[in-house]
Structure 1
Amino acid sequence: MATKNSHAGLTVVITGASSGFGKGVAQKLGAQGANVVLAARRRQLIEELAIQIGPNALAVATDVSKEEDVKHLFETTIGAFGAIDVWINNAAVGVIGPFTEVPIKDIRRAVEINVIGTIYGSHYALRHFKEQQIGTLINVGSVSSKIPYPYYTPYSATKYAVTGLSAALHQEIELEGYEHIHVCTVHPWATDTPWFEHTGNYTGHAAELKPMDDPEIVIDAIIDLIDKPKESVDTGIKAKSAAISGHLAPETTEAFNAKYVQKIIQSAPPAPPTSGSLHEPMQTGTGVSGGIRERMKLEEQQQKRK
């Protein structure tokens, strides 16, 4: 178990730090003595979080889809702490619905944030790590970057891209002989964070997927990679089982998964179309947890009463 000062003095950049995994990682690492640099579009939220964590936290308003913002994030961190030890590319947005019903501008935005944003962060981080001969890059993928998720098609496509980027970078760093530079990828199962509240949604139903993992599983996996780097980690038993099934019986796994996702979407309560937080940040959904498991439990209880 990590102790209070187990990461004292370590400087960690975390994108997507205003809620979900990013916020949870920042809180834990800050409590363990790390210098945490909080990056997100929601300036007020990360500034409030930095105050809560203490003097070892720095908030930098960042839209990762803009190269100038990522450059500013990098330069501000170096100016404040002198070096970066860990860079976590966590910022991501979702968009779900029948592919032909999702506006092209929303699909493009998902690519800009999830793929281009990860490329920008990886580029600045690895260039710095090569200069200092040490550092850890952690990219957040998804179970949907190993098994295709219909109706999550734009998101699944972007996460496949993140996984491919990370795998190629891992090999490149090994070939160049950088023994103390690590490129890691985390693959979570569907997790109860505000992601589902923030996602663009054109399914006609509330955004939810069941069963869902607790975000602490993913948060702990990300932090664990700082001390014990691995190329790829599937977080939790459901993600591990899906990865094994997808490897051993890909066609059966994909067909089962497709029908299951469709069933879950169709059984969720009705909901109007929304672009979520794709183009403008939302003021709601600010916690580590999204409270979705509790909502789904109430929905099931109401169904049973009918």
Structure 2
Amino acid sequence: MSASHEVSAGTVVVITGATSGLGRGTALALAAQGAHVVIAARRGDVLDDLTEQISAAPGGTAVPVITDVSDPADVARLASVTVKRFGRIDVWIDNVGVGALGLFWDIPIDDHARVIDVNLKGLIYGAHTALTQFRSQGSGTLLNIGSIDSEVPLAYQASYAASKAAVLSLSRSLNEELRLAGEDGIKVGTILPWAVDTPWWTHAANYSGHTPRMAAMDDPQIVIDAIVAACTNPKEQQPVGPKARASNASHHIFPALTERLSAKIAGSEVAKGAPVPHTTGSIYHPMDVGTTVDGGIRERMKHEDTQH
């Protein structure tokens, strides 16, 4: 990564969903550049392990804060701990996202509601808390982690896609309001990845009857690099990688065709998965498994593909 995309040493960054996947990878990358990372998630023991890993390497420092983003009191405490320790917040990364996979009507309504509680309401709590702090200090960058689903709806992920569409709309509205308020020092960016091989798929609730999978998954590193770069150069709508950019462009030009193709791919992928029982995953309670950046989904898919 070029030096122009590196954060300054001592930059204070809050990262939610930091115990696995994109959040964990971003925390490690930013700490290596000398940032102070305040890492938030529900799994306190995993946060402690990540803190030790960061502390043992050259670079910045890590402060763990157990946080359920669907609880506004937790989110407020996360900001309070950060400001008390470092005096400010330079970047806030709203990274937490949970999913419920399957046909919409097969997924219990409570699971749909939980997806909205975490992915949308939790993100609103984070954005409100961050912007309040940014306005008091006159600057700051809010990064919301959306999905290509923010632009292109996807079958078998209806409430997840709806929540991610709302994330992009919220970011756009916030930038409008910041311009109207003359808050030139505050920026809001939204990262839109393609399907990424992280433990998200293992943690998702799943009512599809098959192991979760998606065609041509991206390596998490390209998204981590994009998030790190956006800390200093945020964009309101930033598709990451060739597949996300192509899908985003296609949906603007041929929306109906793009959605039909997207649905066909999703249906085909579900059929290739091995049979598994229904599960709520980690959407209500954390799971012990899935504490790495890479989810191992591509390796599992290779094995499944040999069975067809």
**TM-score bin, normalised by smaller chain:** over 0.9
In the TM superposition, residue 139 of structure 1 has moved relative to its aligned partner by 0.1
Partners of 2:142 and 2:189 within 8 A in 1:
yes
SS of 2:38's equivalent in the other structure is strand
SS of 1:227's equivalent in the other structure is coil
Counterpart in the other structure of 1:59 = 64
In the TM superposition, residue 299 of structure 1 has moved relative to its aligned partner by 2.2
Identity %: 47
Alignment-mate amino acid for residue 19 of structure 1: S
Counterpart in the other structure of 1:260 = 265
Instruction: State the alpha-carbon separation in 1 of the partners of residues 7 and 100 from structure 2.
Output: 37
In the TM superposition, residue 229 of structure 1 has moved relative to its aligned partner by 2.0
Moved more, 47-56 or 265-274: 47-56
SS of 2:231's equivalent in the other structure is helix
Structure 2 gap ranges (5+): none
Partners of 1:2 and 1:32 within 8 A in 2:
no
Partners of 1:25 and 1:219 within 8 A in 2:
yes
Q: How does 1:1-306 map to 2 (within 5 A)?
A: 1-2=1-2, 6-54=7-55, 56-303=61-308
Instruction: State the alpha-carbon separation in 2 of the partners of residues 136 and 169 from structure 1.
Output: 12
Instruction: State the alpha-carbon separation in 2 of the partners of residues 72 and 294 from structure 1.
Output: 39
Partners of 2:7 and 2:232 within 8 A in 1:
no
1:264-296 Cα shifts (integer Å, max 9, x gaps): 111211111000001100110110000111111
RMSD of equivalent CA atoms: 1.3
Alignment-mate amino acid for residue 20 of structure 2: S
How many residue pairs match? The answer is 303
SS of 2:306's equivalent in the other structure is helix
Q: What TM-score comes out, normalization by structure 1 length?
A: 0.96
Instruction: State the alpha-carbon separation in 1 of the partners of residues 216 and 261 from structure 2.
Output: 15
Instruction: State the alpha-carbon separation in 2 of the partners of residues 211 and 121 from structure 1.
Output: 31
SS of 2:13's equivalent in the other structure is strand
Aligned pair in 2 of structure 1 residues 98, 132: CA closer, same or farther (>3 Å)?
A: same
Q: Write out the 4+ residue segments of structure 1 that deviate beyond 6 Å after TM superposition.
A: none
Alignment-mate amino acid for residue 141 of structure 2: T
In the TM superposition, residue 7 of structure 1 has moved relative to its aligned partner by 2.7
Partners of 1:96 and 1:152 within 8 A in 2:
yes
Instruction: State the alpha-carbon separation in 2 of the partners of residues 131 and 151 from structure 1.
Output: 42
Structure 1 gap ranges (5+): none
In the TM superposition, residue 228 of structure 1 has moved relative to its aligned partner by 1.4
SS of 2:171's equivalent in the other structure is helix
